[in-house]
């Protein structure tokens, strides 16, 4: 069964346009065009963003603590598998080993991805789930998305205005400061502004 699994990569995180206060984690086929958006909470989004940006929080977050605890006990994570989709909710398992035995732990997909990034292990999905939930992003669709969401942009306008006047260097300094103060909500907003500019460049 292992060779039938499809490997995914983490594309990034954006604000959810369907649920207030939530974020969309975007995963994509490593060798394909399908993408999977997964709605996750703010805390999990921050944990993923911090690792994607290679930022070092002043104190370990829960997922960092899990990694340190696991390694101290001789356990490592081999892979993450998204193995179920029920009523729009993705279910995952974390495949672990202590060198002698292999075992799995049920997990929310957001937590599983946050840990996969920390253990630098692969993320897989069952083919039928990818077929059911995957979205093919054509060039036309992506162009429409860039032009389209005027209503969504109006909702985000305060964030863009708040950080739009700062230079790239200033934003990087502010991001570092927000992490140091453990204000991960502000850090995510600053990172979104930086990502927006990168997309325009």
The predicted pLDDT at position 179 comes to: 75
Question: At the topology level of CATH, where does 2-136 sit?
Answer: Bifunctional nuclease domain (3.10.690)
The predicted pLDDT at position 85 comes to: 94
pLDDT band at 124 (very low <50, low <70, confident <90, very high): very high
Q: Which two tokens stand for residue 138?
A: 């054509």
3-state secondary structure the chain: CHHHCEEEEEEEEEECCCCCCCEEEEEEECCCCEEEEEEECHHHHHHHHHHHCCCCCCCCCHHHHHHHHHHHCCCEEEEEEEEEEECCEEEEEEEEECCCCEEEEEEEHHHHHHHHHHHCCCEEECHHHHHHHCEECCHHHHHHHHHCCHHHHHHHHHHHHHHHCCCHHHHHHHHHHHHHCCCHHHHHHHHHHHHHHHHHC
pLDDT of 125 > 90? The answer is yes
Lowest mean pLDDT among 12-16, 72-76, 176-180: 176-180
Share of the chain above pLDDT 70, in %: 82
The CA-CA-CA angle for residues 13, 19, 21, to 5°, reads 70
Mean local confidence (pLDDT), 160-188: 76
Mean local confidence (pLDDT), 167-172: 86
Domain limits, CATH 3.10.690.10, in the chain: 2-136
pLDDT of 140 > 70? The answer is no
pTM: 0.70
Average pLDDT, the chain: 82
What is d(CA 168, CA 154) in angstroms, rounded to the nearest whole number?
A: 23
pLDDT for 85-100, tens place per residue? 998 899 999 999 999 9
Select the more confidently predicted residue: 121 or 140. Answer: 121
């Amino acid at each position: 069964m292992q060779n039938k699994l499809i490997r995914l990569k983490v594309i990034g995180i954006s604000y959810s346009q369907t649920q207030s206060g939530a974020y969309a984690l975007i995963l994509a086929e490593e060798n394909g065009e399908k993408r999977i958006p997964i709605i996750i909470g703010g805390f999990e989004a921050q944990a993923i963003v911090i690792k994607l940006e290679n930022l070092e929080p002043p104190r370990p977050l829960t997922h960092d603590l899990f990694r340190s605890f696991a390694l101290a006990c001789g356990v490592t994570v081999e892979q993450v598998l998204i193995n179920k989709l029920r009523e729009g909710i993705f279910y995952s398992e974390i495949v672990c080993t202590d060198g002698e035995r292999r075992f799995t732990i049920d997990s929310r997909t957001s937590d599983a991805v946050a840990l996969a990034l920390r253990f630098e292990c692969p993320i897989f999905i069952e083919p039928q789930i990818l077929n059911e939930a995957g979205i093919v992003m054509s060039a036309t669709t992506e162009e429409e998305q860039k032009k389209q969401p005027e209503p969504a942009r109006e909702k985000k306008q305060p964030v863009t205005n708040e950080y739009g006047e700062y230079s790239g260097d200033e934003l990087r300094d502010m991001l570092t400061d927000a992490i140091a103060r453990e204000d991960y909500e502000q850090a995510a907003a600053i990172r979104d502004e930086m990502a927006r500019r990168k997309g325009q460049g």
